[in-house]
Chains A and B, each alone.
Chain A
């Protein structure tokens, strides 16, 4: 237990020292919020169901953070640790190599929470963001979305042999998702044909769930999202367990 806590603490420091990860998780989303906030303000709009740009951007950008930490953070870190022999070295100590997986996951999840908190803070203080949901419900949705996307990242780490290939495949998966799932900007603004494509992107379901819970919709209204994400979580974990190699 002591070693797990220490490992988590070390991983958190390593995460913050890695400029890209920290930037895309903590800085970029808030910057984006300020950018679109300064263009559109947060006036209620018909197109967005009577809500402002900021109101719907905060949950969407939270989904963006989830996608970044999962596809870039977890996949690349674990693949790099395997490639550098860090995992192998751990296998020679009494600590279980699973500990590092738990530590990295905990850090990425924690950083997602911090990223979301920064967004909420900026939205509240600068743009009088409206929040009609329930905190616990939103946090539960965040947890489900985050864990199922993390399981996708873990799958990536299992299948990819090197950190470099994990990075490339991660990016190839990440960018279309950011644009087409509604995480980067409202899906309402996309043409209908492209909206159909988004049904195949797991991130879409995270965005839908979070946006819904954010405005106070109940979980009952989101069975599709919950089912898709749960299946992704279970399948991701199962495939990872089968394919992941420590060396």
Chain B
């Protein structure tokens, strides 16, 4: 497997804030690599060091075999970039932005085709200010793909999008990966990282606290799937006794949760439902719940991932 990005001991300090504190990781070619963590974790700092926009205080980096500081110019033609806090002039039209930016590259991708591919064709004459959040993000993706890059950096691409637009963006990014490009993205949505990324680096306060596939990270919790349901009125004690023979039981008012050993919920579900069918208890809202990346984050850092509002 080829490596697209190598980071070794990256350190960036602002005043007395260690924004990125000695982190190391590799990004493989052809994968969607996600850096996930709450606001202020150091995601943007990390990715912008790799883009050559910020100079690290220590550590070494290789991006497509080049040094982001020393080989800035060469690298700029090879990477596609979307920045977290960057917009376009309000009155610039969609086609003008694409036409202008493609003139910056020696062998640009065909922007007309990108426009169609990203579903922006009917907005080609629209000024940037008139685009919806989702359309803006798609335009930024198009601009990032203009250099026909091997590596694409996307910083908080889906922040501020509604759930449907977010899902559409995921499909788009998977499509880009399937063309053989490497994608390095950041997000503060654990769910997004879990659903979209091939591998995830969890960052908290500048520290890299975990790095693996979402599945492996969740499995490392060693926590089985759960079945949860509600009962009418307080749960009778004999129900608890019966359920405890199946798994770990937690009762909170009328809400009951049973956690099994396996990460797969199927057997647990059968056990719980057949037990309930044999008893006289009335139950409703029964569903299964798998541990998520959010649980992993919670366990590793002892805090929730949604700290404060995204600016």
- Interface of A toward B, CB cutoff 8 Å: 2-3, 6-7, 10, 13-14, 17-18, 80-81, 84-86, 88-89, 91-95
Select B83's contact among A2, A13, A92, beta carbons within 8 Å: A92
Say whether, besides A7-B100, A10-B96, A88 and B89 are in contact (CB < 8 Å).
Answer: no
The distance in angstroms between the C-alpha atoms of A94 and B96, with both chains bound, is 18
Bound complex: CA A17 to CA B147 (Å): 28
* Complex Cα gap A81–B87 (Å): 9
Q: By the criterion CB–CB under 8 Å, are B101 and A93 in contact?
A: yes
- Whether B86 and A17, one on each chain, are in contact in the complex, defined by CB atoms closer than 8 angstroms, is no
Q: How far is the CA of A6 from the CA of B77 in the complex (A)?
A: 18
Of A10, A92, A93, the contact of B92 (CB 8 Å cutoff): A10
Q: Knowing that A84-B88, A93-B101 touch, tell me 20 more A-B residue pairs with CB under 8 angstroms.
A: A6-B103, A7-B100, A7-B103, A10-B92, A10-B100, A14-B91, A17-B91, A18-B91, A85-B83, A89-B81, A89-B83, A91-B53, A92-B51, A92-B53, A92-B76, A92-B83, A93-B147, A94-B73, A94-B76, A94-B105
Assembly CA distance A80 to B90 (angstroms): 11
- Nearest B residue (CB) for A88: B86
Binary interface encoding of chain B residues 120-156 relative to chain A, with 1 for a CB under 8 A from any of its CBs, else 0: 0000000000000000000000000001000000000
Cβ distance A180 to chain B, nearest Cβ, rounded Å = 34
Instruction: Give chain B residues whose Cβ lies under 8 Å from the Cβ of A91.
Output: 53
Q: List 30 A-B contacts (CB under 8 A).
A: A3-B103, A3-B104, A6-B99, A6-B103, A7-B100, A10-B100, A14-B91, A14-B92, A80-B89, A81-B89, A84-B87, A85-B83, A85-B85, A85-B86, A86-B88, A88-B53, A88-B86, A89-B86, A89-B88, A92-B52, A92-B53, A92-B79, A93-B101, A93-B104, A93-B105, A93-B147, A94-B77, A94-B104, A94-B105, A94-B106
CB-CB under 8 A from B79, the residues of chain A are: 92
A-B contact count (CB 8 A): 59
Are A95 and B86 CB-contacts (below 8 A) given A6-B99, A13-B96, A14-B91?
Answer: no
Is A84 within 8 A of B89, CB to CB?
yes
* Contacting residues, chain B, for A88 (C-beta < 8 A): 53, 83, 86
- For A85, the chain B residues whose CB sits under 8 A away are 83, 85-87
Q: Which residues of B contact A6 (CB under 8 A)?
A: 99-100, 103
| Chain B residue nearest in CB terms to A13 | B96
In whole angstroms, how far apart are the Cα atoms of A91 and B104 in the complex? Answer: 11
Question: What chain A residues lie within 8 Å of B83 (beta carbons)?
Answer: 85, 88-89, 92
